[in-house]
């Protein structure tokens, strides 16, 4: 007998309207890893997608980054922000564009994206404080961590309704309710889509393991960063995570990062300041 996960995979594999990302994103993943590719080549690849370039530049010039002068080309953005950061913004712009106007009944779409963007901002702020080497990718890893929730409610609305019911009835988290109903949760669906999009392994794993960070064997820092940022964002009440609870925080992660009260306060403040300037990210979901 097919398991629920196999049923889900076959529905998703045959879904004609499954979100796809532009080719430029795929190309960027491999280009950035290639030591022989330079900034000019990367700028050229991005520039080929005119719409995506303009959306990326909207983010670069938003209040969130607060540059004194207008940045009007990808080449200029790479000079001031670095290649990895620009790649991360291209990916962010393409994901927000892919999901724009995909609101569903009974799903708090704006709240979902506020939580996602908040987790991205918090992950980046935390990475900077921890002097982590994953700083540039931290935003995207946070942004996408709950991707599975979006896919879940769009393609499996009946199960989604049952999950919502379980959350209210039994005071469960989204993850607990999904596991109880299906034996897996949104982390598996999200990482499945990320693999389909050919995202780098570390990004797939931070989506897959953000609720079970203790099981991480590789890319541990990134997975733990996303776990902590998710908890922070929920604790701050930014956006809507789908249930009224702050996810369980794993002691091991707090000890490893030495997350003391002073650091937590500083990152909290930066997350709130970041959200106050993140309007353009949410605008990309509308037009
Ligand atoms: Fe989650
Ligand atoms: Fe989350």
Condensed to tens digits (0 to 9), the pLDDT of residues 42-65 reads 999 999 999 999 999 999 999 999
Ligand 1 center from residue 146 Cα (angstroms) = 5
Does residue 2 register a pLDDT over 90? Answer: no
Ligand 2 center from residue 175 Cα (angstroms) = 10
Ligand 2 center from residue 18 Cα (angstroms) = 21
Every domain of the chain and the residues it spans: 20-98, 104-283
Ligand that comes closest to the CA of residue 246:
2
**Superfamily, domain 104-283:** Hypothetical protein af1432 (1.10.3210.10)
Ligand 2 center from residue 167 Cα (angstroms) = 15
**Look-up of token digits 């991480």:** 216
Distance CA 219, CA 214 (A): 12
* C-alpha distance across the termini of the chain, in Å: 44
Q: Are 239 and 113 in contact (CB under 8 A)?
A: yes
Q: Where are the alpha helices (DSSP H) in the chain?
A: 4-14, 23-33, 39-47, 50-60, 74-81, 83-98, 109-129, 135-144, 147-155, 157-170, 174-182, 186-196, 201-208, 220-235, 251-257, 261-276, 279-283
Q: Are 30 and 247 in contact (CB under 8 A)?
A: no
Ligand 1 center from residue 134 Cα (angstroms) = 20
Of 83 and 104, the one with more pLDDT:
83
Distances (CA, A) of 123 to 32, 72, 172, 173, 273: 21, 27, 25, 21, 14
Confidence of residue 31 (pLDDT cuts 50, 70, 90): confident
Confidence of residue 147 (pLDDT cuts 50, 70, 90): very high
Condensed to tens digits (0 to 9), the pLDDT of residues 115-142 reads 999 999 999 999 999 988 777 789 999 9
């Amino acid at each position: 007998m097919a398991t629920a996960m196999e049923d889900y995979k076959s529905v998703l594999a045959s879904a004609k309207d499954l979100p796809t990302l532009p080719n430029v994103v795929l190309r960027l993943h491999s280009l950035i890893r290639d030591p022989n590719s330079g900034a000019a080549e990367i700028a050229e690849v991005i520039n080929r997608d005119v719409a995506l370039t303009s959306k990326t530049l909207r983010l670069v010039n938003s209040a969130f980054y607060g540059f004194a002068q207008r940045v009007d080309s990808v080449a200029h953005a790479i000079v001031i922000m670095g290649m990895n950061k620009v790649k991360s913004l291209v990916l962010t712009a393409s994901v927000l564009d892919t999901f724009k106007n995909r609101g569903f009944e009974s799903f708090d779409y704006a709240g979902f994206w506020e939580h996602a963007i908040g987790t991205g901002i918090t992950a980046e702020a935390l990475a900077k404080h921890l002097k982590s080497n994953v700083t540039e990718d931290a935003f995207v890893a946070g942004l996408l961590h709950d991707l599975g929730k979006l896919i879940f409610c769009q393609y499996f609305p009946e199960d989604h309704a049952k999950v919502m019911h379980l959350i209210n009835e039994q005071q469960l988290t989204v993850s607990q309710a999904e596991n109880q109903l299906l034996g897996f949760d949104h982390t598996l669906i999200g990482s499945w889509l990320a693999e389909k999009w050919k995202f780098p392994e570390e990004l797939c794993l931070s989506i897959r393991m953000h609720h079970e960070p203790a099981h991480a064997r590789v890319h541990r820092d990134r997975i733990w960063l996303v776990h902590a940022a998710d908890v922070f964002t929920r604790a701050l009440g930014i956006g809507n995570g789908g249930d009224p609870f702050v996810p369980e925080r794993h002691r091991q992660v707090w000890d490893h990062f030495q997350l003391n009260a002073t650091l937590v306060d500083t990152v909290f403040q930066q997350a709130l300041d970041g959200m106050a300037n993140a309007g353009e990210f949410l605008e990309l979901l509308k037009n």
